[in-house]
A and B are shown apart, each in its own frame.
Chain A
Amino acid sequence: AQRVTQPEKLLSVFKGAPVELKCNYSYSGSPELFWYVQYSRQRLQLLLRHISRESIKGFTADLNKGETSFHLKKPFAQEEDSAMYYCALQGGSEKLVFGKGTKLTVNP
């Protein structure tokens, strides 16, 4: 079975502080992993995918197959990073399996 777990429903940090949003997955094969973000009153959009190994808006995520994790990190959070973040897995088919999401609030 494919499953994505985001253990934190809510995460609050101060501007300039480091932030880490946790994501663990369950899948027997080699997954493709993504982070999607939804800003207030906007549609869900792709933030980054592990295969491209890129940094978007200062965020990075490393796939750790040993720990089956794909945590999202940013060294210095900004107020505009406040949003809902969803980790998603694609394994063996085109569909995405999402976690329940983490609401990040960056306080001034």
Chain B
Amino acid sequence: GAGVSQSPRYKVAKRGQDVALRCDPISGHVSLFWYQQALGQGPEFLTYFQNEAQLDKSGLPSDRFFAERPEGSVSTLKIQRTQQEDSAVYLCASSSYGTGGIYEQFFGPGTRLTVL
């Protein structure tokens, strides 16, 4: 079946522009995660949804970062007034269960954001 998809795959933004990154999770998956992966680093947690509820946003680096999942399916990560340090690959992952279980997170291909 279809895996996690993300769009766009590549995004180039000028410093100060706003961007929106989309994630389509695997159908029926309750949990959705966003991670940021800088060059040469491992993925770092940004935020987590269980259905439409944002249960953890402790990893969002600043108030310029905002994520939503209004209907408990598709999610959008928005970055306002982009800065060069925002350049990274943004990964989305989904899993089939929310609380307490150890369920595999399935990752999307990522969106590579370059801020000039």
Contact = CB atoms under 8 A, between A and B. Distances in A.
Do A and B pair up? The answer is yes
Contacts of A100: 40-42
A94 B55 CA distance: 10
A97 B107 contact: no
B102 A98 contact: no
B45 A49 contact: no
Interface in B1-35: 3-4, 31, 33, 35
A93 B56 contact: yes
Contacts of A97: 45
Contacts of B95: 94
A43 B109 CA distance: 5
A55 interface: no
Contact of B107 (A4, A45, A90): A45
Interface of B: 3-4, 31, 33, 35, 40-45, 48, 50, 55-56, 59, 91, 95, 98-99, 102, 104-110
Contacts of A49: 102, 104
A86 B102 CA distance: 18
Interface residues of A, number: 21
B102 A44 contact: no
Interface in A37-86: 43-46, 49, 51, 86
A46 B105 contact: yes
Contacts of B50: 94
A6 B43 CA distance: 13
A108 B99 CA distance: 45
